Homo-oligomer: A and B are copies of this chain.
Amino acid sequence: MTENHSAERPGLSRRGMLGLAGAAVGAGVVGFGAGVAVDRAVSAGAIGSATTYPFYGEHQAGITTPVQDRLHFAAFDVAPGLDRAGLIELLQDWTTAAARMTQGRPAGTYGPASGPADAPPDDTGEALDLPPGGLTLTFGFGPSLFVDATGADRFGIASRRPAALVDLPHFPGDALVEALTGGDLCVQACSEDPQVAVHAIRNLSRIAFGRAAIRWSQLGFGRTSSTSRSQATPRNLFGFKDGTANIKSEDESVVRDQVWAAAGDGARWMAGGSYLVARKIRMVIETWDRQQLGEQERIVGRDKGEGAPLSGGTEFTEPNFLALAKTGGTKIDPDSHVRLAHPTMNDGAQLLRRGYNFVDGNDELGRLNAGLFFIAFQRDPRTQFIPIQSRLAKNDLMNEYLKHVGSAIFAVPPGAREGSYVGAGLFS
Question: Footprint of B on A, CB under 8 Å?
Answer: 20-24, 26-27, 29-33, 35-37, 40, 43-47, 69, 72, 74, 76-77, 110-112, 118-121, 123-129, 179, 192-195, 198, 201-202, 205-206, 209, 213-219, 221-222, 226, 230-240, 285-286, 289-298, 303-306, 310, 357, 359-362, 364-368, 370
> What 8 additional pairs, Cβ within 8 angstroms, besides A24-B292, A33-B297?
A29-B295, A31-B293, A31-B297, A32-B293, A120-B290, A125-B235, A198-B237, A217-B362
The reply to whether B292 and A217 contact each other, CB–CB distance below 8 Å, is: no
- Which of A35, A128, A202, A305 has the largest count of B CB atoms less than 10 A from its CB? A305
Of all chain B residues, which has the CB nearest A179? B364
Of all chain B residues, which has the CB nearest A112? B293
The reply to whether A305 and B235 contact each other, CB–CB distance below 8 Å, is: no
The reply to whether B298 and A27 contact each other, CB–CB distance below 8 Å, is: yes
Closest Cβ of chain B: how far from A287's Cβ, in Å?
9
- How far is B66's CA from A44's CA once the two chains are assembled, in angstroms? 13
> Chain B residues near A359 (CB, 8 Å)?
72, 198, 217, 219
The reply to whether A26 and B295 contact each other, CB–CB distance below 8 Å, is: yes
- How far is B292's CA from A21's CA once the two chains are assembled, in angstroms? 8
The reply to whether A366 and B213 contact each other, CB–CB distance below 8 Å, is: yes
Of all chain B residues, which has the CB nearest A367? B214
Of all chain B residues, which has the CB nearest A357? B195
Q: Which of B45, B192, B360 contacts A230 (CB 8 A)?
A: B45
Known A-B contacts A293-B33, A306-B33; the reply to A360 vs B360 at CB < 8 A is yes
